[in-house]
Amino acid sequence: MKTCAFTGHRPQNLPWQFNENDKNCLKLKQILNQQISQLAEKGFTDFLSGMALGSDTWAAEAVLNLRKKNPALKLHCILPCKTQAEKWPVSEQERYQKILAQADSIFFTSRNYHPNCMLERNRFMVEKAHLLLAVYNGQPHSGTAAAVRHAQRLGCDIIIINPISLQIS
Maximum pairwise Cα distance, the chain: 39
pLDDT of residue 1: 82
Q: Tell me the pTM.
A: 0.96
Q: Which residues of 76-98 are buried (b: 16+ CB within 10 A; e: fewer)?
A: bbbbbbeebbeeeeeebeebbee
Torsion over CA: 15, 33, 133, 104 (sign): positive
Share of the chain above pLDDT 70, in %: 100
pLDDT at 91: 96
Is there a contact between 125 and 80 (Cβ–Cβ < 8 Å)? no
Query: pLDDT band for position 159 (50/70/90)?
Result: very high
Enumerate the β-bridge partners of residue 160.
134
Task: State the average pLDDT over residues 5-31.
Answer: 94
What average pLDDT does range 138-166 have in this prediction?
95
The Cα–Cα gap between 92 and 90 comes to 5
Per-residue pLDDT at 60: 98
Decide: helix, strand or coil at residue 108: strand
Comparing CA positions, the residue from 140, 129, 153, 139 lying closest to residue 50 is: 129
> Using one digit for the tens of pLDDT, what is the confidence trace for 77-87?
999 999 999 99
